[in-house]
Structure 1
Amino acid sequence: MWRAALSHRLRGGAAAASPWGRPGPPRPRSSLASCSASSSCWSCGLALPSASSPPRFCPSCRALQPPEPCADLFRLMGCKRTFQVDQGRLQQRFRSLQRALHPDYFSQRPQTEQDFSKQHSSLVNKAYRTLLNPLSRGLYLLELNGIELVKGTDTEADPEFLLEIMEINEKLSDANNDAKIEEMENFIAAKQEALTKGVRRAFDQDDLQEAKKLLAKMKYFANLEEKLKRKKIPF
């Protein structure tokens, strides 16, 4: 029955929910192009070097400057803007930035600077989480290229893939012991690994539409992973 219902939705009946999104209005290749940081120090007014890497400190009074309005998370974390990142280097950069920007180190500084340190720390946490996870990293790369996955419906969704997801959901619902849950966990992890490799190839070939298609599938499996986590939590 569920197969018939799904087929009806895909043929034009009630729209099937999907994480596939449609591209928004045309934008520059990088949405960061129109963003610029302040050119002078908020504390002493000295002109700041335009090429300095974030986070910026005034070369004269050493005051911490505010985060860039549209920070490039790859640049902030010292990574090349590619899908494949050096996780060891990413973690090292994260620890280094957190040590340098932790609010505790600015407790005796002006309130403005204390606020900036909190903003920087929050941004560093966001950058680390985004770039560490293949799905969020890929989605961010698409965003930098003017492509977003948005909530809604998509008539181009692959019917066979949606049927596969529904079948996996059924198996997950029926998994009522540790052995079956572990089997599903390994199966979903293997699917995600294969999709991640496909996304890497797509970005290497600059095929953004293929990357978008595969990342949308990864979102489905990420939802399944969350269901697995909840299923493993004892009541």
Structure 2
Amino acid sequence: MQPVQPGSTYFDALGVSDQPTFDVDVKELRRMFLRSQQRVHPDTYATGEDRERQLAEQQSAWLNRAYHTLREPLARAQYLLQLHGVDVTETESVADPELLMTVMEERERIDDATDATEVRDVFQANEDRIRETITMLGDAFRANNWISAHALTVRLKYWYRLRAAVRTWEDEHGGK
């Protein structure tokens, strides 16, 4: 059992791509994760030496972080930007007034909703925006356009927050 190699990426850990890429086959990612996790799972080393067990725990934790980051488009985009020296922080603001207006209007629709029909409409429109943004992100990353990828990642973060607001409404209203 070897320690996590300095400078290795989540892509290296899971063996899903020679180079970091936004285009990830999520089913293949899961298959590679399960295969890798099987090799290093701490339970496999439960009766071994302390050092081996600790390394297995580190490897297992590393693989879990890698998998959970790469399976979600937003986390994957943020990770790729980080690998290329671009910071996408939680406190980042958006200079796109159209995006902000759309988000505010949709949040207002959610807050004012009295039944699930309107919330489902917001949800569906937002899911369409998420799919479109993910497609555009893939294009930006393939073109190595970090400025566009950064802006689209911030945009996707707002769409994910809107998705969370819909789910919160549904939880609070029992999906009515």
Consecutive unaligned residues of structure 1, counting only runs of 5 or more, are 1-63
Task: Give the counterpart of 1:159 among 97, 105, 115.
Answer: 97
Partner letter of residue 12 of structure 2? R
Structure 2 residue 159 is the aligned partner of structure 1 residue 230: no
Q: Secondary structure at the match of 1:65?
A: coil
Q: Which has the higher contact order (CA 8 A, sep 6+)?
A: 1
- Cα offsets for 1:80-137 (capped at 9, x unmatched): 2111112221111011112111111101111111111111111111111111111111
Q: Of residues 68, 77, 85 in structure 1, which corresponds to 2:24?
A: 85
Say what the alpha-carbon RMSD is for the aligned residues.
1.6
Matched positions, count:
171
Partner of 1:68: 5
1:4 aligns with none
Measured after TM superposition, the shift of residue 153 of structure 1 is 5.2
8 Å Cα contact 2:16-2:32 kept in structure 1: no
Residue deviations 1:58-97 (CA, integer Å, cap 9, x gap): xxxxxx1112234300111112211111222111101111
State the alpha-carbon separation in 2 of the partners of residues 181 and 79 from structure 1. Answer: 37
Q: Distance in 2 between matches of 1:224 and 1:188?
A: 7
* Larger CA Rg, structure 1 vs 2: 1
After superposition, give the CA deviation of every residue in 1:31-62 in whole Å (9 maximum; x if it has no partner): xxxxxxxxxxxxxxxxxxxxxxxxxxxxxxxx
Task: Give the Cα–Cα distance (whole angstroms) in 1 for the partners of residues 32 and 9 of structure 2.
Answer: 15
Which residue does the alignment assign to 1:184? 122
2:68 maps to 129
Query: Secondary structure, in 3 states, of the residue corresponding to 1:233?
Result: helix
Spell out, residue by residue over 1:169-192, the C-alpha distance to the aligned partner (whole angstroms, 9 max, x if none). Answer: 101112232222222221111010
User: What is the one-letter code of the residue matched to 1:196?
Assistant: I
Matched-pair contact (CA < 8 Å) for 2:109–2:119: no
Q: Distance in 1 between matches of 2:92 and 2:76?
A: 23
Percent of aligned positions that are identical: 28
Q: Which residue of 2 aligns with 1:149?
A: 88
Q: TM-score, normalised by structure 2?
A: 0.90
How far 1:166 moved relative to its partner?
Answer: 0.7
The 5 A counterparts of 1:6-155 are: 64-80=1-17, 81-152=20-91, 154=93
Distance 2:171 2:33 in 1: 30
Q: Which amino acid aligns with 2:170?
A: K
Higher helix share: 2
The code of the aligned residue for 1:173 comes to D
Q: Distance in 1 between matches of 2:105 and 2:91?
A: 22
Shift in CA distance, 211/97, structure 1 to aligned 2, threshold 3 Å: same
C-alpha distance in structure 2 between counterparts of 1:69 and 1:199, whole Å: 28
1:219 equivalent in alignment to 2:157: yes
